[in-house]
Structure 1
Amino acid sequence: MTDPDLARRIAERARTVSDVADLTAGPRGRIVTFQAGPPLGGVAVRPDAVEIGIVARPARRLPDIAADVRAAALPLAGDRAVHVLVGDLAEEGT
């Protein structure tokens, strides 16, 4: 599986986690996977780690949401560590 394929699968999985409103490339735009066409913001597959940037709904503790995203991505990450950045909070009702 190529890095863009893996990044897309991880993005799909992360978006299914409760209280994840969206993915984000982060404040400096560094959490991104380059691919044919537009880059995929919100997931970066590195040789030793996967980084995931999320926009969270503040319905519960942010560390709990991040832990759930990490747990959802770990089965796909192989031997890579999974790091989750809460890059923003969604407004109520989104």
Structure 2
Amino acid sequence: MQTTLTTESQISEHFMNSGKALTTEKAVIAAVHAELAHAKAHVSDKDVVLGLIHRLESERDVIKQDIYRQALEHVLQSASANSNS
């Protein structure tokens, strides 16, 4: 459990320190996290990934799809980097 909390905080810290480059993606990730937090007491990085995949699959707007893809890519890269540390 502690590892999950550490990983989540590392992912959150990564996006908070990413500057303006990921502003839209950060907003999407925050919205997914908030939506999941209403349904669950504990939201893991896997939950966020699944939430982004769900949005990506259900979205028809190609611009929003691209934003979801980029957000998903950043979450996966961050999770991968944190697990290799």
Q: TM-score, normalised by structure 2?
A: 0.46
Q: Taking structure 1 as the reference length, what is the TM-score of the superposition?
A: 0.43
Looking at both structures, which has the greater relative contact order when contacts are Cα pairs under 8 Å and sequence separation is at least 6?
Answer: 2
Q: Which has the larger helix fraction?
A: 2
Greater share of strand residues, 1 or 2? 1
